[in-house]
Amino acid sequence: MRKILIIGATSAIAQETAKLFAEKHDALFLVGRDVDKLEAITADLKVRGAHQVAYYTLDLNEFDQHEPMLEQAYKSLEGLDTVLIAYGTLDDQKACEQDFAQAEQALRTNFMSVVSLLTPIANRLEKQHYGCIAVISSVAGDRGRQSNYVYAAAKGGLSLFLQGLRSRLHSANVCVLTIKPGFVDTPMTTNFKKGALWAQPETVARGIFRAIKWRRNVIYLPWFWRFIMMVIRLIPEPLFKRMKL
Amino acid sequence: MQSTYQSWGNFPKVSQRIRSIPWRKKPLLLPETPDTVLAHGLGRSYGDVCLNNNGILLTTRKLNRFIQFDVDEGVLRCEAGVSLAEILALCVPQGWFLPVTPGTQFVTIGGAIANDVHGKNHHCAGTFGRHVLQFELLRSDGERLLCTPTSNEPYYAATIGGLGLTGLITWAEIKLKRISHRAMQVESIQFSQLDEFFELSQQSDQDYDYTVAWLDCNNSQALGRGIFFRGNHVAADEIPKDWKLPRFNRLPPLLRTMPINLPGFVLNRWTISAFNTFYYKKTRQSQLIDYQPFFYPLDAILEWKRLYGKNGFLQYQFVIPDHRMLKEILQKIVASGLGSFLAVLKTFGELASPGLLSFPRPGVTLALDFPIKGAVTFELLAQLDEKVREMGGAVYPCKDARLSARHFQAFYPQWTKFAEYIDPRFSSSFWRRVTETPLCVKS
Ligand SMILES: Cc1cc2nc3c(=O)[nH]c(=O)nc-3n(C[C@H](O)[C@H](O)[C@H](O)COP(=O)(O)OP(=O)(O)OC[C@H]3O[C@@H](n4cnc5c(N)ncnc54)[C@H](O)[C@@H]3O)c2cc1C
Ligand SMILES: NC(=O)c1ccc[n+]([C@@H]2O[C@H](COP(=O)([O-])OP(=O)(O)OC[C@H]3O[C@@H](n4cnc5c(N)ncnc54)[C@H](OP(=O)(O)O)[C@@H]3O)[C@@H](O)[C@H]2O)c1
């Protein structure tokens, strides 16, 4: 039985991943900002076989509440060995261009708040000498595009942060997994037109579940995004800046 | 978002906007426009009861969480978009089974209630609605009605078999059936005349929980030829030690999801060969099989509907009280040469449903597919409607896409009473069609 903390537990991808943990009878501690949603998910995971499920209501932009939340998670789970960070917002790029306050909000939620969480989490896991930290970043963070570069900057920054953290925690036997999903059909992307490249959250969840089990470093989900992003990164900048991506 | 949601028969083609409903406790937040809305589960209804042309579909597939499972009592509460397949995956290993199941497990519990579905055990268990202990009905004005046989009883009765028109079911609680093993003891018996079928059916209803027959509709010479299936769940201690869960004959994934439309003869070949393997084997054979192939033979090919090609198809299912009249209808179908090669035949029992508008009633029911071959298909089915009406029977709305208002209102004279409980904001393509003309036939 693993002791798992899921931060952003109401996200579609997190919910599907949590079901897989529940089927393995893991103990879960869920963090999110909406109590109705957390209650519904908690009941579901209990029926599906989770050893225990508790939830904690928190807007993750309240940085000073991160430590007390973590404290509570340790208490409830009687330890901690796996952390999944799965929340995020896909803010309107045009609005971010016009108004720094919006851009700042996007960066706070998608980058700063995660750093604020990872600081105490990393220190604790480093001390206990075991554990796994899995964080959902995005393929968007692999290259800045005109259509969403504020979000991309946050996710790209997050990926770099995780890369450094991975290497720091390697000697402490703690693995750091960077998850880079492509297009996923979730509430975040309700208004997008869906095509062949789109994946269901169930599929992405299975990938996350396996990657945690195998203690992987960086995964693209579904796998073909690794190659798509390889090509996108290879496009020379003089050409890329002219492309309407 | 505009979308291409269709129903199982691929007919009629409609255009609707989609609103996903992922959380049961959140308000519906319907748009200010006068557009009507309709819940949509897994779209396994063949016709247009699950469609709302030019309106909004409230899709419930994200409403798929369990709420509570009492393993001692076999009482399961879950959100309305949970599928029967998900319930089976949870409950069978813990010794519980669905009280009633249709011929596919890919339906939601909301859909099963709204069509008040029936299964091979109708003669001893009645419809699905009989096993629904309670549910919550969310109305467009935001009111939430807890419906049970004793509280908000009129809404309970109107919503069971209510074709999604009384509001959105957010969650439901059902009573499961105890089993001790996933295997079934199944007997298949060939018969060559309808009378033999009725005799077998009568003999078996006492001792077998599940009965159904396949009828060969290919050949007018051999009319009445078929195979009768009857089965029971098996007690764990009756299972031979060496019985292993068979590895399912899974088709390759590409075939299972059937990415393209194929000509209809492919399905006919498949059904004929399935039929013949049973028919020509032995007059009677008994075997121990897993519940999956027994209840859901077609689920192995996920998108088998595509086998009927891009024009789509209609399924026709009716019930008539007097089985002696079945032959006349059958002859008409077979002579037309328009139907599928196999029909499914079953006798319904006496157990009444709590549902106000439910389809099943005592008698014999027959279901078969009609690939759409233009006006002739529609004309034939209209003639069958008339015959069914004369015989005092009814046609199943959940399979229908073409029934006239006149016939619907004759089959379901209680529809005016039912209409009092319809949510003013809810409507469906089906409902607009079958109520477009004023009541013509008074009962
Ligand atoms: C291969 C196959 C075999 C079948 N065998 C049988 C059988 O043996 N017996 C039988 O009775 N039927 C049978 N059916 C039909 C099927 O069981 C019904 O059509 C069932 O209702 C489909 O459920 P669904 O979740 O797909 O609902 P949909 O088809 O999406 O919707 C059906 C109706 O339910 C309403 N609805 C759905 N969810 C809700 C909700 N949350 N609140 C309120 N209303 C809701 C919709 O508005 C609509 O009116 C079969 C279908 C197939 C494809
Ligand atoms: N969908 C995609 O295509 C895609 C692609 C690549 C990466 N991702 C990443 O995948 C992760 C999961 O997203 P998803 O696709 O599953 O979308 P989602 O279902 O919309 O999930 C986003 C979640 O973040 C939560 N959240 C946002 N701000 C929060 C805050 N301040 N405090 C607490 N919770 C907050 C939301 O909570 P509420 O439920 O309370 O609103 C919601 O549950 C995100 O990091 C996203 O960036 C998604």
pLDDT in tens, B389-443: 999 999 999 999 999 999 999 999 999 999 999 999 999 999 999 998 433 333 3
Query: In chain A, what is the straight-line distance between the N-terminal and C-terminal CA atoms, in Å?
Result: 45
Task: Give the residue, B268 or B385, on which the prediction is more confident.
Answer: B385
CB B320 less than 6 A from any atom of ligand 1: no
B309: region left, alpha or beta (phi > 0 left; psi from -120 to 50 alpha): left
A5, containing H or E segment: strand A3-7
Q: Per the structure block, which two tokens stand in for B25?
A: 């406790």
Contact between B22 and A48 using a beta-carbon 8 Å cutoff: no
Mean pLDDT to the nearest integer, B357-379 = 96
Taking the CB of residue B258, how many other CB atoms lie within 10 A of it?
Answer: 17
Q: What is the pLDDT of residue B437?
A: 45
pLDDT digits 0-9 by tens, B315-366: 999 999 999 999 999 999 999 999 888 899 999 999 999 999 999 999 999 9
Total CB pairs under 8 A between chain A and B: 34
Q: Per the structure block, which two tokens stand in for B107?
A: 């339906």
**Please, what is the Cα angle at A151 between A147 and A157, to 5 degrees?**
130
Could you tell me if B113 and B203 are in contact, meaning their C-beta atoms sit under 8 angstroms apart? no
Q: Per the structure block, which two tokens stand in for B229?
A: 């299936």
Q: What is the pLDDT of residue B267?
A: 65
Read off the DSSP letter of residue B426. Answer: B
- Beta strands B177-178; A131-136: pairing state: unpaired
Nearest-angstrom CA–CA distance, B388 and B145? 36
Q: How confident is the model at residue B269 (pLDDT cuts 50, 70, 90)?
A: low
**Please, what is the Cα angle at A16 between B135 and B28, to 5 degrees?**
40
Q: What is the identity of the amino acid at B316?
A: Y
Q: How far is B31 from chain A (nearest CA, A)?
A: 16
Nearest by Cα to A159 from A175, A176, A184: A176
pLDDT at B75 over 90: yes
Q: Per the structure block, which two tokens stand in for B267?
A: 């399905």
Looking at the DSSP assignment, which residues form a beta bridge with residue B391?
A: none
Helix (H, G, I), strand (E, B), or coil: what is residue B150?
coil
Contact between A44 and B23 using a beta-carbon 8 Å cutoff: no
Nearest-angstrom CA–CA distance, B426 and A141? 43
Name the residue of A5, A6, A87, A184 to mutate for ligand 2: max ligand atoms within 8 A of Cβ: A87
Which domains, and CATH codes, for chain A?
3-240 (3.40.50.720)
Contact between A36 and B1 using a beta-carbon 8 Å cutoff: no
Q: How far is the CA of A172 from the centre of ligand 1 (A)?
A: 54
Contact between A43 and B67 using a beta-carbon 8 Å cutoff: yes
Read off the DSSP letter of residue A112. Answer: I
Q: Per the structure block, which two tokens stand in for A18?
A: 């949590």
Nearest-angstrom CA–CA distance, A42 and B66? 10
Q: What is the identity of the amino acid at B67?
A: I
**CATH number among 3.30.70, 3.30.2000, 3.30.420, 3.40.462, domain B183-399:** 3.40.462
Angle between helices A66-77 and A113-128 (to 10 degrees): 40
Q: What is the pLDDT of residue B300?
A: 73
Mean pLDDT to the nearest integer, B213-223 = 86
Centroid of chain to Cα B36: 25
**Low-confidence spans in chain A with pLDDT less than 50:** none
Nearest-angstrom CA–CA distance, B108 and B61? 8
Nearest by Cα to B38 from B437, B441, B304, B424: B424
**Please, what is the Cα angle at B45 between B11 and B341, to 5 degrees?**
70
Helix (H, G, I), strand (E, B), or coil: what is residue A4?
strand
B105: region left, alpha or beta (phi > 0 left; psi from -120 to 50 alpha): alpha
Q: What is the identity of the amino acid at B51?
A: L
What is the DSSP code string of A8-39?
A: TTTSHHHHHHHHHHHHTT-EEEEEES-HHHHH
Mean pLDDT, rounded, of chain B: 90
B19, containing H or E segment: strand B16-20
Q: What is the identity of the amino acid at B362?
A: P
Q: What is the pLDDT of residue B66?
A: 98
CB B107 less than 6 A from any atom of ligand 1: yes
Task: Give the residue, B347 or B255, on which the prediction is more confident.
Answer: B347
Could you tell me if B177 and B99 are in contact, meaning their C-beta atoms sit under 8 angstroms apart? yes
pLDDT digits 0-9 by tens, B156-192: 999 999 999 999 999 999 999 999 999 999 999 999 9
- Beta strands B144-147; B132-138: pairing state: antiparallel
- Beta strands B183-191; B284-290: pairing state: antiparallel
CB B104 less than 6 A from any atom of ligand 1: yes
Mean pLDDT to the nearest integer, B297-325 = 83
Taking the CB of residue B324, how many other CB atoms lie within 10 A of it?
Answer: 12
pLDDT at B261 over 80: no
Q: How far is A231 from chain B (nearest CA, A)?
A: 28
Task: Indicate the pTM of the whole model.
Answer: 0.95
Q: Per the structure block, which two tokens stand in for B191?
A: 């018969």
Residues of B in Cβ contact (< 8 Å) with A47: 66-69, 78, 90
Q: What is the pLDDT of residue B441?
A: 37
